[in-house]
Structure 1
Amino acid sequence: MANKAAKQLARANTATLNRAHITTLALHTLFILYRLLYRSGSWSKYAALSLPSLVVEIYLERLGRPKYSSPGGDGVLVSAGEDMEAKGVTEYMWDIVYVTWGVLGLVGVVGEWGWWVLAIVPIYAVYLAVGMYRGMSGLMPGMSSSPSAAAAAPDGPRSNRQKKAEKKGGQKARYN
């Protein structure tokens, strides 16, 4: 069976994307019906704060949907699409979709204050960016990622064994 891994990835991507689209459709439909029937609220907030999640979901659709030589998925598999369970940016995009789903339910229960939970997404992005910057700062010349790097200079305290080895002409011990 040729391309077994690609076919498995295509099936997994199709199932993941179909499940996500059905869940999104159901949650947004329930939210809109609930808003129309029981609780009033800002439709502009709903549109503005749900739009990023919908855009991300469309992007994930284009990124991960398998492509076949004939429409309907009956032809030869041309491309399995990107892995929808990949780490990194894809994972963060799914987090945006999941957080939006949770916020829709929260807004239905607690009201308009629930939209503030969406502030978690940019705060988390800043947290990750700062962590990545700090991790990379140790690789840049002239920048130190830890204050202990300056304290561990070769002229620091040495043991008696190290002093004797240096007197005998051995190599100086370096600490990093």
Structure 2
Amino acid sequence: MANASAKRTAAQNETALRNLKIWMLAAPFIALFIRFFFRSSLFPSRTSIFIHVLTFIPLFVLYTHLNSIGSPRRDPTTGALIGSGEDLNMSGVTEWCWDIIYVTWGCQIGSAALGEWFWWVYLCIPLFALYKIYSVFLKPYFFSKAPESASTEDETAQSMSKRQQKLKKRSDKGDPRVKRL
């Protein structure tokens, strides 16, 4: 039997996956609607069609990934919840999957409304990936300076706990309660 948090996660995942399915169909239709009614040309250029197809590949891969990890498993006979699936509101890779999906939909609709130049916004995805690689992997290991060491007394004071610092002060004063080694 599933607990309350698993049921809540399963309900949130079902809602998120349902909205994902709706928007996977709605975003291209909104783009076509905008093109048909608000732009002079119905059909995009060959370059834009190529970009649509090219960006649909990661969109579909991320959709199937989120669908596979987030779908709750239920008992077919009773309908009882067996597993809630992974939480689709997690930070990290799952959050980045959602971000890529949102940027792709935005670029589809934006290119239909504002022009083909709007696909340049899609470059924020690899730029963000490069930023993360630099800030998480390269900067700490290769580009960080060695910390400037203060006096050795300050270093030992920083490494000692408050209790150890208090005992050291008592010892320096000659307090008989502190054993000297």
Question: Normalised by the size of structure 1, how large is the TM-score?
Answer: 0.74
Taking a change above 3 Å as real, the CA distance of residues 144 and 33 of structure 1, as seen in their structure-2 partners, is: closer
Which residue identity lines up with residue 173 of structure 1 in the other structure?
Answer: E
Of 77-86 and 49-58, more deviation after overlay is shown by 49-58
Checking the alignment, whether the CA contact within 8 Å between 1:31 and 1:108 is kept in structure 2 is yes
Aligned residue in 1 for 2:127:
123
- Bigger Rg, structure 1 or 2: 2
Distance 2:107 2:143 in 1: 40
Which residue identity lines up with residue 149 of structure 2 in the other structure?
Answer: A
Aligned residues: 150
CA root-mean-square deviation: 2.5
Show structure 1 runs of 5+ residues with no match: 138-142, 155-171
How far the C-alpha of 1:125 sits from its partner, in A, is 0.6
Structure number with greater CO (CA < 8 Å, separation at least 6) is: 2
Is the aligned partner of 1:98 residue 2:96? no
Which of the pair is proportionally richer in helix?
Answer: 2
Distance 1:57 1:2 in 2: 26
Show structure 2 runs of 5+ residues with no match: 159-181
Which among 148, 152, 155 is matched to residue 149 of structure 2?
152
Per-residue CA deviations over 1:87-132 (Å, capped at 9, x if unaligned) read 1110011000111111112101222111111111010011011110
Question: Percent identity between the aligned chains?
Answer: 30
Aligned residue in 2 for 1:79:
83
Question: Normalised by the size of structure 2, how large is the TM-score?
Answer: 0.73
